[in-house]
Amino acid sequence: MAESRPPGGGAERLRMLADLVSDGEVVVLSGAGLSTESGIPDYRGETGRRRRAEPMTYQEFTGSAAARRRYWARSHLGWRHVAAARPNAGHRAVAELQRRGLVAGIITQNVDGLQQAAGAHGVIELHGALSRVVCLACGDRSPRRRLDERLRAANPGWEERVAAARINPDGDAVLGEAETGAFRVVDCERCGGTLKPDVIFFGENVPPARVRDCYALTERAGALLVLGSSLTVLSGYRFVRHAARHGVPVAIVNQGPTRGDEHALVKLDAPLGTALGGLLAELGA
Residue 214, annotated as binding a ligand: no
Residue 272, annotated as binding a ligand: yes
* 91 is annotated as an active-site residue: no
Catalytic residue among 81, 91, 127, 263: 127
Residue 138, annotated as binding a ligand: yes
Residue 135, annotated as binding a ligand: yes
- Pick left, alpha or beta for residue 272 (phi over 0 → left; psi -120 to 50 → alpha; otherwise beta): alpha
Mapped to the 3 state alphabet, what secondary structure does the chain carry?
Answer: CHHHCCCCCCHHHHHHHHHHHHCCCEEEEECHHHCHHHCCCCCCCHHHHHHCCCCCEHHHHHHCHHHHHHHHHHHHHHHHHHHHCCCCHHHHHHHHHHHCCCEEEEEECCCCCHHHHCCCCCEEECCEEEEEEEECCCCCEEEHHHHHHHHHHHCCCHHHHCCCCCECCCCCECCCHHHHHCCCCCCCCCCCCCEEEEECCECCCCCHHHHHHHHHHHHHCCEEEEECCCCCCHHHHHHHHHHHHCCCCEEEECCCCCCCHHHEEEEECCCHHHHHHHHHHHHCC
Residue ranges for the known binding site are 109-112, 135, 138, 188, 191, 228-230, 254-256, 272
Positions marked active-site: 127
Binding-site annotation: residue ranges for NAD(+): 109-112, 228-230, 254-256, 272
Q: Which residues are annotated as a binding site for Zn(2+)?
A: 135, 138, 188, 191
